[in-house]
């Protein structure tokens, strides 16, 4: 497993796939490897729903801003944080679940993310491409309705898998010095961030043949300007995640 760094560092989101369904047994293997990720107290709060119905995929693609890869991926899956199963397990053992805690929400969300990333590494190790779809949270209630999710289950993100029909460049990341600190948080990264701004500007220019001219800080300013998905709090409360 010498080339593990090479595999991980070659990740880029794939948004064009060959029109070929992912075999069932391949998705099972990928999800099975996903399950091997660490899980807080063995909670295993992850449920994965493979969306096969073309009309459901079309609805989700539409609410996610028209992302075509949701329609064309070999498999489109929705990764859910599932405390309904925990509640069931608890009741099977004669207990009662205390619901709605912020801590449970964190545990379940992290559980799903760890399992998903393991599944991503498995898929990419097999030569498939992937794309996370956070935009299912544009309208999480419709997603929950379409997938018939019970209370205490919320859709965290979508995940496309398939044979890549494109070979985009790897997007450069922040210098590791910005991200990894010794002992205490320190905040002297402005010069490194400015350098990254130029790296990313070059990347966008090359990739878009000059039509996109933007830096990281400019992208961030656009991203966090205004209330993003302000329905999430209320949506989660309705699902039984009151975040007390």
Q: How many CB atoms lie within 10 A of CB 92?
A: 8
Contact between 181 and a second copy by CB under 8 A: the answer reads yes
Q: Using the rule CB under 8 A, is 168 a contact of a second copy?
A: no
103 touches a second copy by CB under 8 A: yes
Location of structure tokens 């656009």: 222
State the minimum distance, in angstroms, from the CB of residue 85 to a second copy. Answer: 7
d(CA 70, CA 64): 9
Between 38 and 58, CB nearer to a second copy: 38
Considering only residues 220 to 239 of the shown chain, the ones binding a second copy according to CB under 8 A are 220-230, 232-233, 236
* Pairwise CA distance, residues 85 & 80, whole Å: 11
Which one of 16, 43, 62, 71 is in contact with a second copy (CB under 8 A)? 43
Task: Determine, following the binding rule CB under 8 A, whether residue 189 of this chain makes contact with a second copy.
Answer: yes
Count Cα atoms within 13 angstroms, Cβ side, for 107: 17
Choice from 22, 46, 69, 164 touching a second copy (CB under 8 A): 46
Contact yes or no for 107/43 (Cβ under 8 A): yes
**Sole binder of a second copy in the list 18, 19, 35, 202 (CB under 8 A):** 35
Q: Is 189 exposed, middle or buried (0-12, 13-18, 19+ CB in 10 A)?
A: middle
Stretch that binds a second copy, among 59-67, 80-88, 161-169, 205-213 (CB under 8 A): 80-88
Which range binds a second copy by CB under 8 A, 15-23, 63-71, 120-128, 161-169?
120-128
* Binding of a second copy by 185 (CB under 8 A): yes
* 241 class by beta-carbon count within 10 Å (0-12 exposed, 13-18 middle, 19+ buried): buried
Does the protein bind a second copy through residue 160 (CB under 8 A)? no
Non-local CB neighbours of 82 within 8 Å, separated by 6+ positions? 45, 46, 47, 108, 152, 153
Q: Does 151 bind a second copy (CB under 8 A)?
A: no
Residues numbered 58-77 forming contacts with a second copy, rule: CB under 8 A: none
């Amino acid at each position: 497993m010498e080339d593990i760094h090479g595999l991980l560092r070659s990740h880029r989101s794939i948004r064009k796939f060959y029109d070929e369904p992912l075999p069932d047994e391949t998705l099972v293997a990928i999800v099975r490897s996903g399950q091997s990720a660490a899980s807080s107290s063995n909670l295993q709060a992850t449920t994965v729903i493979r969306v096969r119905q073309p009309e459901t995929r079309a609805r989700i693609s539409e609410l996610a801003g028209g992302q075509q890869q949701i329609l064309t991926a070999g498999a489109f899956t929705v990764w859910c944080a599932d405390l309904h199963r925990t509640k069931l397990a608890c009741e099977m053992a004669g207990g009662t679940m205390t619901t709605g805690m912020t801590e449970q929400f964190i545990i379940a969300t992290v559980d799903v993310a760890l399992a998903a990333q393991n599944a991503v590494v498995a898929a990419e190790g097999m030569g498939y491409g992937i794309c996370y779809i956070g935009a299912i949270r544009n309208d999480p209630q419709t997603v929950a309705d379409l997938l018939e999710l019970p209370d205490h289950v919320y859709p965290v993100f979508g995940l496309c898998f398939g044979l890549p029909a494109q070979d985009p460049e790897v997007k450069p990341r922040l210098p590791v010095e910005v991200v990894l600190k010794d002992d205490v948080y320190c905040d002297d990264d402005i010069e490194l961030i400015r350098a990254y701004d130029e790296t990313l500007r070059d990347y966008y220019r090359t990739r878009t043949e000059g039509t996109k001219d933007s830096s990281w800080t400019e992208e961030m300013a656009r991203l966090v300007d205004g209330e993003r998905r302000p329905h999430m709090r209320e949506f989660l409360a309705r699902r039984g995640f009151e975040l007390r």
